[in-house]
C-alpha cells in the first residue's frame, strides 16, 4: 500500500522514473499535433473551395507543384511550426513528413466520412428525406456498371441500407429526364414507388427546361444550322491566338463564348455576344479571311462573313433566339433559388408558357422589324430568299390539285421555323411539367394563398385526398 500511494503521488506530480523519457515523447507528440492541425486546415480550405491539390510536380519549391505544396510554402513564411517542419525535411531529419499525395487523399476521405456522418445524423433527426440521383463519369462516388433502371435502383437501395436510411421514410425523388430514371414501368422512380408509394417523383426542373430548348432547336434543320453557325464563328477565333487577337481588336464589349452542351439556357451568352456585335464580328471574320495563312480557315471565315451573317434569315433567327433564350434563362435562374417552392415554381412555368403563347401571336413581325434595322445598319438587303420550287414527277393516279402549297420566303420562315419552334416549346413545357400539375392537385390546398380562406370541412377533404371517405 505504501508503494502504491507513493506511485499515485509521483504520477500526480509527474515525478515517475520514466519522466526523462516521457518529456521528449510528449514534445514530439505535440509537435506532430500542431503540424497535422495545419495540414488539415489547408486540406479543408482547398476542398471547400473546390481547388486542385496537385500540379505537375510533387516537390517543394518546384514550379507547378500545385496548390497544396504551394500553400505549405506560404505558411512557412509566417508560421514557426511549419518553418521548423520544412527545416527538418530539407535536412533529411524526417522520413515521414505527411505532405505526399497519399496523406492528402486519406485526409480528404476522413473529412468526407465525417461530413457524411453529420448529414446522416441530421436526416435521421428529421426522419423524412428526399433522394436526388444522377450519373457522373467520376469514379469517386458510387461505382455503377449497370446503368439500366434496375441496375441504378439496386445500387441506390443497397447504399440507402448501408447508410441506415429507411426507404419507408423517403418522401421525394428527383432525377433527370432519362428513360432509365423517369420510366413509368422500369425506371428508378417507378421501382421506388412500388415499395413506397409516398416517395413522390419530380423531374429536375432546370433539366426539363434544357430539354425544352433542345426540342426547339434539334427538331428543325434551320435550328441546327443556326447554332452550327454560332459555334463555327467561335471556333474560328478560339483555335488561334492570332485570330483571337483579331477578334479582341474588333470586338470590345462581349467576348465570344462556346455553346454549352449541357446548360442550354446559358447559350444566351453565346448568342448575345454575336447579336449585340454583328457588325464587329463580321469585320473580324473579314480580317481573318484577308490575313489568315490557313486557306481553309480563311475561306470559312469569308463564307461566314459574306453569306451566313449577311443572310436576312440568319438576322431574324438571332433576334428570335436571343429573346427566347434570355427569357428562359431568367426563369431557369428563378427555379434554382434557395427559397423556390412548388407553388412559385408552377407560377413561373405557367408564366413561361404564357410568354411563348403571346410571343407566337405578337412577336414575329416585331422580330422582323428589329432584324431590318440591323440589316440596314450592316448594308444588307432585308428580304427572305425565295426557294426554288422543286418539280417532282407525279404518279399516274395523282391529280394536279395535290401539289404542295407554295409559300413566299417570309411565309415559309414563319410557318416552318418560327411557329414550329414556338409550338414545340409550348408542347414540351406542358408535357415535361405535367407532374407539377398533379402535385398542385394533391397539395395545392397547402399553398398560403389557398390555405388562408379554406374552411375546416374543405381542409379535411383536401387532406384525405380525392376519392377517400371521411367515415
Q: Which residue has the cell 414545340?
A: 424
Q: Is the pLDDT of residue 54 over 80?
A: yes
Instruction: State the sign of the Cα–Cα–Cα–Cα dihedral 133, 135, 136, 139.
Output: positive
**DSSP string for 11-25:** HHTT-STTHHHHHHH
Give the model confidence (pLDDT) of 69-78 as tens digits.
Answer: 999 999 999 9
Task: Kindly tell me if the per-residue pLDDT of 6 is higher than 50.
Answer: yes
Lowest mean pLDDT among 3-7, 45-49, 76-80, 204-208: 204-208
CA distance 68 to 75: 11
pLDDT above 70: percentage of residues in the chain: 92
Per-residue pLDDT band for 396 (boundaries 50, 70, 90) equals low
Residue-wise burial string across 234-267, b where 16 or more C-beta atoms lie within 10 A, e elsewhere:
bebbeebeebbebbeebbeebebbebeeeebbeb
Whether the CB-CB separation of 265 and 212 falls below 8 Å is answered with no
Least confident of 162-171, 261-270, 323-332, 339-348: 261-270
Residue bearing the bigger pLDDT, 66 or 448:
66
pLDDT band of residue 470 (cuts 50, 70, 90) is very low
Give the pLDDT of residue 405.
59
pLDDT digits (tens, 9 = 90+) for 281-309: 999 999 999 988 889 999 999 999 999 99
Q: Which three cell numbers stand for residue 204?
A: 429536375
d(CA 287, CA 245): 11
Is the Cβ–Cβ distance between 286 and 309 less than 8 Å? no
Whether the model pTM is above 0.75: no
Q: What is the pLDDT of residues 319-358, one digit of tens each?
A: 999 999 988 888 888 888 888 888 888 888 899 999 999 9
**pLDDT band for position 467 (50/70/90)?**
very low
* Whether the predicted pLDDT of 402 surpasses 60: no
Amino acid at each position: 500500500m505504501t508503494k502504491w500511494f507513493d506511485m499515485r503521488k509521483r504520477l500526480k506530480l509527474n515525478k515517475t522514473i520514466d519522466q526523462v523519457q516521457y518529456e521528449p515523447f510528449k514534445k514530439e507528440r505535440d509537435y506532430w499535433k500542431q503540424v497535422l492541425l495545419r495540414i488539415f486546415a489547408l486540406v479543408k480550405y482547398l476542398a471547400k473551395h473546390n481547388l486542385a491539390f496537385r500540379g505537375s510536380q510533387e516537390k517543394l519549391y518546384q514550379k507547378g507543384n500545385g496548390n497544396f505544396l504551394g500553400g505549405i510554402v506560404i505558411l512557412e513564411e509566417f508560421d514557426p511550426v511549419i518553418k521548423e517542419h520544412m527545416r527538418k525535411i530539407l535536412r533529411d531529419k524526417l522520413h515521414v513528413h505527411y505532405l505526399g499525395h497519399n496523406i492528402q487523399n486519406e485526409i480528404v476521405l476522413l473529412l468526407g466520412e465525417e461530413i457524411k456522418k453529420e448529414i446522416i445524423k441530421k436526416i435521421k433527426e428529421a426522419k423524412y428525406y428526399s433522394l436526388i440521383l444522377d450519373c457522373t463519369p467520376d469514379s469517386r462516388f458510387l461505382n455503377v456498371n449497370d446503368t439500366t433502371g434496375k441496375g441504378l435502383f439496386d445500387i441506390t437501395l443497397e447504399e440507402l441500407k448501408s447508410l441506415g436510411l429507411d426507404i419507408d421514410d423517403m418522401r421525394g425523388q428527383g432525377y433527370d429526364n432519362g428513360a432509365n430514371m423517369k420510366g413509368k414501368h422500369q425506371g428508378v422512380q417507378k421501382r421506388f414507388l412500388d415499395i413506397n408509394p409516398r416517395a413522390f417523383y419530380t423531374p429536375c426542373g432546370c433539366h426539363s427546361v434544357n430539354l425544352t430548348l433542345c426540342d426547339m432547336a434539334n427538331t428543325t434543320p434551320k435550328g441546327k444550322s443556326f447554332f452550327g453557325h454560332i459555334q463555327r464563328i467561335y471556333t474560328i477565333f478560339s483555335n488561334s491566338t492570332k485570330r483571337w487577337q483579331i477578334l479582341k481588336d474588333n470586338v470590345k464589349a462581349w467576348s465570344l463564348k462556346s455553346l454549352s452542351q449541357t446548360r442550354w439556357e446559358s447559350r444566351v451568352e453565346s448568342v448575345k455576344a454575336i447579336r449585340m456585335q454583328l457588325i464587329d464580328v463580321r469585320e473580324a471574320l473579314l480580317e481573318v479571311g484577308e490575313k489568315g495563312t490557313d486557306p481553309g480557315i480563311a475561306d470559312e471565315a469569308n463564307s461566314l462573313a459574306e453569306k451566313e451573317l449577311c443572310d436576312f434569315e440568319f438576322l431574324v433567327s438571332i433576334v428570335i433566339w436571343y429573346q427566347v433564350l434570355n427569357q428562359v434563362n431568367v426563369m431557369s435562374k428563378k427555379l434554382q433559388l434557395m427559397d423556390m417552392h412548388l407553388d412559385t415554381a408552377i407560377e413561373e412555368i405557367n408564366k413561361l408558357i404564357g410568354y411563348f403563347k403571346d410571343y407566337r401571336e405578337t412577336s414575329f413581325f416585331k422580330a422582323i422589324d428589329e432584324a431590318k434595322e440591323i440589316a440596314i445598319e450592316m448594308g444588307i438587303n432585308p428580304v427572305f430568299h425565295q426557294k426554288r420550287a422543286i418539280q417532282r414527277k407525279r404518279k399516274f393516279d395523282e391529280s394536279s390539285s395535290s401539289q404542295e402549297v407554295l409559300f413566299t420566303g417570309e411565309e415559309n420562315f414563319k410557318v416552318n421555323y418560327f411557329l414550329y419552334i414556338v409550338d414545340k416549346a409550348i408542347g414540351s413545357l406542358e408535357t415535361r411539367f405535367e407532374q407539377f400539375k398533379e402535385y398542385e392537385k394533391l397539395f395545392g390546398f397547402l399553398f398560403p394563398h389557398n390555405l388562408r380562406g379554406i374552411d375546416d370541412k374543405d381542409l379535411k377533404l383536401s387532406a384525405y385526398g380525392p376519392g377517400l371517405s371521411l367515415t
